[in-house]
Amino acid sequence: MSEWLKRKIDFSSVINPFYIYCYSFAFSLFLYLWGWSSLYPLLSGGLLLFLVITFMLFIFSGKVFIRKLPVIFRTQPLNPKMTDIIFCLIILLGVINIFYMGFIPVLSRSHDYREFGMPVIDPLFNSLSIFFSVFLFRSFLYSKKKRLIIYFILILILQIIIFRRSTVVWILASSSILLLLYKQKISMWLIIAVFVTLPVLSYCFGLYGNFRSKLSDSFIMNDLGASSAFKNSGLGYNHYMTYLYASSPLANLQQNIDMRSDSSIGNNFKEFLFYCIIPVSVTLRLEKSLHLYPPECFLISPNLIAGSFYMVSFYLLGWYGMIIMTLFLILYILVSLFIVRKWKTFGLETYSLLSVAVALLIFSNFLNRLDIILILFIYPVLFHFIYTGKSKSQKLLKIQNQEC
């Protein structure tokens, strides 16, 4: 038995952004079929067929493109001074954010946490927090310096107190994937330990969300449609909230498929372009001048607004919109992989973040968010030159001193 628990399984081959698309949507679909919510419409054959076809397409793409990816497990050029400077910059941006808003969400429940954030500063603070938390975690794995893991924890705490649950999920999920890629082989006892702690994680996730949103247990169980099957299961309402977060996006997507008739889907390509492809920050600035209006998609409940990255595209262009988004996602992944191939310094971090970005598409369209664009396409290149440029200048200076 002890030998079996010590057995290690190689996960490096299955950590693949194309495969992760399949894992994410299949997991949400699996939870959906438990029937724990009376609000959920019956899944249509059209949606199930679409998901199966995309699964096949992404599995094929993963086998074709990922095997050509060069090794990205190279040791990064550690620059303690530069890392300290960037950490201090992140903390400074967080403090400026708090002082500008005048409140801390965890301490001031009278304010709406969704309104927290200073223009320009907040996206920069959020994106740097995610990217460099993963960088700090990887640096700690290589150097084992305690200072780096302390930096990592401090950034995480700062995100928790301002109620950035999505950012916390990004950081922890990306770091977990990075650990799998770094270790490659994980022992069975650790895998079992993760599965054993899943109920605890589910409870904590729901508890944190309820505390942030100030929802009562009666509202969650009754107004959010807990079915008799769930009520008879003996599980608490915090677990039900976790269930809703993970599966309600498919329910909202199905709701739009059911409610949006073919005759009402018109020539909405301009709206599709601005609300599905072009970065949100650009769209918000052009809405009034271009007479654009945010799509009012059908929802199973006004309190459950997530609908996967497919919902808005279906609302605007029907099945054609979902097909375009699928092809756009494939292109998105390929461009990010090109960056990983060409600028390898932050390749492992970028690859981990890309994998999480694809996994979280079950909730919403992250492809047109400015902070995600910065994380996947701008920061890997920018900081590659900052770190390698610094190391090259130091080597040059050392050679010149030796010659003298």
Q: What is the mean pLDDT of each run of 10 residues along the chain (404 residues)?
A: 63 83 95 90 95 95 72 61 92 85 65 64 89 93 90 91 83 90 75 75 68 66 80 79 89 92 69 91 84 89 90 93 96 92 86 94 91 93 84 48 45
Which among 392, 384, 402, 389 is positioned nearest to 74, based on CA atoms?
A: 384
- Taking the CA atoms of the chain, what radius of gyration do you get in angstroms? 22
What's residue 404's pLDDT?
44
Structural domain count of the chain: 1
What's residue 58's pLDDT?
95
**Dist CA 2 CA 168 (whole Å):** 35
Query: What is the extent of the structural domain holding 304?
Result: 2-403
**Dist CA 34 CA 259 (whole Å):** 23
Secondary-structure breakdown of the chain: helix, strand, coil percentages, each rounded to the nearest 5: 70, 0, 25
What does each C-alpha distance from 258 to 17, 109, 261 come to in angstroms?
30, 38, 7
What's residue 208's pLDDT?
62
Helices (H), 10-164: 17-32, 45-65, 80-101, 121-143, 146-161
What's residue 116's pLDDT?
64
What's residue 63's pLDDT?
86
Written as one string, the DSSP assignment of 59-97 is: HHHHHHHGGGPPP--PPP---HHHHHHHHHHHHHHHHHH
Which among 198, 197, 194 is positioned nearest to 186, based on CA atoms?
A: 194
HSE (CB half, 13 Å, CA atoms) of 131? 26
Place of tokens 């309600």: 248
Which secondary structure element, helix H or strand E, spans residue 172, and what is its range? helix 165-183
Q: Are 284 and 332 in contact (CB under 8 A)?
A: no
What's residue 69's pLDDT?
54
3-state secondary structure of 393: helix
Please measure the distance between the N-terminal and C-terminal CA atoms of the chain and give it in whole angstroms.
64
> 3-state secondary structure string, 274-334?
HHHHCCHHHHHHHCCCCCCCCCCCCCCECCECCCCCCHHHHHHHCHHHHHHHHHHHHHHHH
**Dist CA 270 CA 291 (whole Å):** 11
